[in-house]
Structure 1
């Protein structure tokens, strides 16, 4: 079995109003059991709450780096949203 590295989604260069759409599109396209690493310039905690409201029990959230300048979070898809 070969593991594919997680896709990196760096939203730091995206304009703020398009960031969540890009992140949700990426999440929606994930096959079950896979994930991506979100790179952001601030703590994406509001995104966590939005995912929890829209896709409860369908994702994992693991901080890999917690600022102060860069946050990296691995977001995984574990069930159908």
Structure 2
């Protein structure tokens, strides 16, 4: 089964983290989704590291300069 893609490029910046985190919360163990963003989501990584230490996976698939793709999973 292919991972769902969550493209947040058209979302208002203030809504993006909530949307991404709620998508993560809905995952079952071992599931993931591909985040598509218009900038490096490094601050989001730090938020996941602080709030979900050891409970998530983070795999960079594409690193700009216009599109960033990261697979985020529930470990």
TM-score bracket, normalised by the shorter chain, equals over 0.9
Task: Kindly report structure 1 stretches of 4+ aligned residues shifted beyond 2 Å.
Answer: none
Paired residues, number: 75
Match of 1:38 in 2: 35
- What per-residue deviation string (whole Å, max 9, x for no partner) do you get for residues 2-45 of structure 1? xx110100000000000000000000000000100000000000
Give the alignment's TM-score, normalised by structure 2: 0.99
Gap runs ≥5 in structure 2: none
Gap runs ≥5 in structure 1: none
Larger radius of gyration: 1
Give the alignment's TM-score, normalised by structure 1: 0.92
